Amino acid sequence: MPPFAGMMIVLPPSIVMSAYQTALATFTRIYRYEHLLALAGWDQAAMMPPKGNDARGAAMAELGVLIHGLLTDPALASAIEAAGSDTLNELESANLREMKRQWEQANLLPASLVEAKTLAGSHCSHEWRTQRANNDWQGFLTNFREVVRLAREEAQLLSQRSGLSPYEALMNKYEPGMTCAELDRIFSDVKQWLPGLIQQAMRKQAAESVIDAQGPFAIAAQRELGLAVMEKLGFDFNAGRLDVSHHPFCGGVPEDVRITTRYTEDDFTQSMMGIVHETGHARYEQNLPRETVHLPVGRARSMAIHESQSLSFEMQLGRSPAFLRLIQPLVQQHLGEQAAFDADNLARIYTRVRPGFIRVDADELTYPAHVIVRYEIERALIDCEIEADDIPALWDEKMHAYLGVDTRGNFQNGCLQDIHWTDGSFGYFPSYTLGAMYAAQYFAAIRAAYSDLDQRIAAGDLTPVFDWLNRHIWTQASRWDTGELIRRATGEALNPAHFRAHLEQRYLAG
């Protein structure tokens, strides 16, 4: 007879887990699986040899189904429901709110769809790398149609339960609470004043002398410059690394953040500012509260808030004359001395307004137009107003109307340039301009608190920026919903007027 057969074992009350603790245990397991999934995704983009893609895609789909199974386990539903009766403090209540939100999203989707989306996205993204280089829209379309079909299926399932439009239901995964009505109001206003501001800035800059940096710039030297700038920005190299990928990104997990950039020998400016951008993402992740980082309440609030960190670093700080004056000696140290590396000239290079094809290389003023183009196209696509085949013509029309550039036949630098659509990340693009608006609002608050901010930055003291972001954004994680987070940080709800004021000050003043 086995030991203890027929005996009832009664655990002491201190060992019996509450419903809330049971839910915590499940979400801790989910985080550990997500850790592996994130690093597998980073390796797929940065290091994996091409022939590994099919096996990697299958492995990532398997992990995705496993995570989905944990989230849809009836035992978790019972624990979350029962936890509502537990005695919880304010932070625990916020965590329960976030756990419930994740549970609700997952339970609207069947495991078969989660698996199919992962496989289709992995295959489409992998093939895109070659198809973009070959300007092969038709080849891309053969895989992309399936990605769109599955995204629409997901959107319909999420929409039916939430009452949101299909596109809003997808956008809500990245920016909870945002609606198309609010976004349309914000973007419609931007479309009213942005074209005139772009033209005014270009006329003003036409009278300025700018010296272009003369390459080639060795990739190894650009990498060392990037690492030195990351150090200035406080990146923790014991908890992350810098690599190369086809499309710059920040991945990994808070304990092990992986950022990437891409280099070209004839222009160092894009790789360096790309590194500054991704370091903003990384600092957010590295400074999330360690005691809760494995739980929903300890994770990044939303993708617009995440982009507000990268754009705080790249646009508000990185392209400021004060910061460029600070890092100018590093540029000379790693790339050599030339007239273009004068601090004032660097500032003119990094604030030059020049409408172009590529979103990630766009200047600060024209960038919102790139985002609006993508938002309008992907919304129409998910809401079944257009088909995937219609994208190039619509892209050409909007890029010409909003930026005055001709993209006809140029798929590589047109509708094939971004990786987001390849894996079905529809609804993400609005996060970029919302993030720019949040970043401008942060810096309005920081400048109100530190009247000598530019002088301190130029002297190498970046603590006013880092301390403010750490106190108001990084350590708060998902404790509050986005609106409350912003109100607590800046004293008001999202106010796009700060964004316009920032652009007018930087590009028209003086």
* Alpha-carbon gap, residue 460 to 478, rounded angstroms: 31
Backbone angles phi, psi at 101, to 5 degrees: -65, -45
Between the alpha carbon of residue 364 and those of residues 54, 192, 335, 442, the distances in Å are 38, 17, 25, 17
Q: At what angle do helices 74-83 and 53-72 cross, to 10 degrees?
A: 50
Is 246 strand, coil or helix? coil
Q: Is 87 exposed, middle or buried (0-12, 13-18, 19+ CB in 10 A)?
A: exposed
DSSP 326-378: HHHHHHHHHH---GGGSHHHHHHHHT-----S-STT--TTTHHHHHHHHHHHH
Is 47 strand, coil or helix? coil
- Exactly one of 154, 168, 278, 285 is catalytic; name it: 278
Between the alpha carbon of residue 58 and those of residues 40, 54, 123, 142, the distances in Å are 11, 6, 10, 20
484 is catalytic: no
Pairing label, strands 256-261, 240-244: parallel
* Alpha-carbon gap, residue 124 to 145, rounded angstroms: 10
Residue 378 CB contacts under 8 Å (≥ 6 apart), including other chains: 167, 421, 426, 427, 429
**What is the distance of C-alpha 77 from the center of its chain?**
30
Residue 24 CB contacts under 8 Å (≥ 6 apart), including other chains: 95, 295
| Residues 405 and 357 sit within 8 Å (Cβ to Cβ) | yes
Q: Which residues are catalytically annotated?
A: 278
